[in-house]
Amino acid sequence: MSDAGYLHGSCLCGGVTYRAALPVSHASHCYCRMCQKQHGAAAGSYANVASAGLVIEQGADLIAEYASSDHGRRDFCRGCGSTLFWRSTQSPDRIAITLGTMEPEYAGQVTREWFVENKPAWLPQA
């Protein structure tokens, strides 16, 4: 069976699984403080896709949502804390899916970086 038309992923505990229809409009690393806090990491890394193509295959009841700003919504697994999705109520037709939850590994390019002025000094220097 060919799965070339979809991204697939799951959370750390495996309770939530999803698929998202391609294409990805762009993938990004976001170094804003909210992404850093939520991910506990240097950045939030996402692929931006059409929200209509996202299917929660399993564990929809495990997904909790945090409103991090007026329009920003951050979805995560309440069982294991994995960050899953970011969306804006201002653009309900799009959703951003975390690259680190994808299986197999995301094969596309990351073409955008946001809030690079917040890149932490402890990142390895290129």
Chain contacts with Zn ion (rule: CB under 5 A): 11, 13, 15, 30, 32, 35, 44, 77, 79-80
Of 101, 99, 23, nearest in space to 57 by CA: 101
The nearer residue to Zn ion, 9 or 44, going by C-beta atoms, is 44
Supply the minimum distance, in Å, between the C-beta of residue 4 and Zn ion.
26
DSSP 93: T
The nearer residue to Zn ion, 52 or 61, going by C-beta atoms, is 61
Contact residues for 61 (Cβ-Cβ < 8 A; gap 6+): none
The nearer residue to Zn ion, 5 or 27, going by C-beta atoms, is 27
Supply the minimum distance, in Å, between the C-beta of residue 52 and Zn ion.
23
SS3 call for 87: strand
Spatial contact of 31 and 42, defined as CB atoms under 8 Å apart: yes
Supply the minimum distance, in Å, between the C-beta of residue 55 and Zn ion.
17
